[in-house]
Amino acid sequence: MASRRQLKKNVNYIAGELFAECLVNTLLIPGTDKDKADQLMAKILRMQDEFISRISHTEPGNVKGFYKKFRLDFNAKVNEIVDEIEKLNK
């Protein structure tokens, strides 16, 4: 199991990459809906805050199950955001 510190760094890195991708779409790709992009960037920041706070408050009795659920929830949320980024240009 990775340390909490490393896990927080990974969450911050992934959120930063998603935010940067959304920003690049807004600035460089014509036809991107800027209002939807702004809402998506705010959603990315809320997601980052949510998962960082979840790392800090681990369930004491079920640590392994907590991190398994955390990983599944995080991957699902990232995939959802990636799908929304793809839809910005359509």
> Residues 43-90: pLDDT tens digits?
999 999 999 999 988 878 888 889 999 999 999 999 999 999 998 876
pTM here is: 0.89
Reported as a single tens digit per residue, the pLDDT across 18-41 is 999 999 998 888 888 889 999 999
Q: Where do the domains of the chain lie?
A: 4-87
Q: What b/e string do you get for 39-76 counting C-beta neighbours within 10 Å, with b at 16 or more?
A: ebbebbeebbeebeebbeeeeeeeeeebbeebeeebee
